Amino acid sequence: MSIVTTYVCDVSGKAGLNREDFTDVTILVMQYSVNQHMSSGFSSTSGVTLKKLVHNDVAEKLNLRRGPDVAVEPETTFEGKLKVLLEDHVTELVEGHLENR
């Protein structure tokens, strides 16, 4: 005897039997109150963490997850660009030195 579990998407109501068709989404909700005595004007008073089960199709449309074939490209920093230029320059110097031998 087997147990049949039906998963239901909290956002769209889509249902399915395969757990891999769904993504767990954690939502952090913070409530802020105005405090005139603080320099920023706001002070955090409370927070609530919600967990929702979202169908993969809905999660992709809402940009809640990346597709399996999307590679995350790190943003190149100024220091990273300088490093690449320095590595290229040093490589050219070494190759030029080796050719002159």
pLDDT in tens, 12-48: 778 888 888 888 888 887 777 666 665 555 555 677 8
Assigned token pair, 22 = 């769904």
Residue 35 pLDDT: 65
pTM: 0.44
CA-based nearest residue to 65, from 74, 49, 53, 48: 53
Residue 31 pairs with which residues in a beta bridge? 46
Residue 69 pLDDT: 56
For residues 10 and 5, what is the distance between their CA atoms, to the nearest angstrom?
Answer: 15
pLDDT band for position 53 (50/70/90)? confident
CA-based nearest residue to 47, from 62, 35, 33, 63: 33
pLDDT band for position 82 (50/70/90)? confident
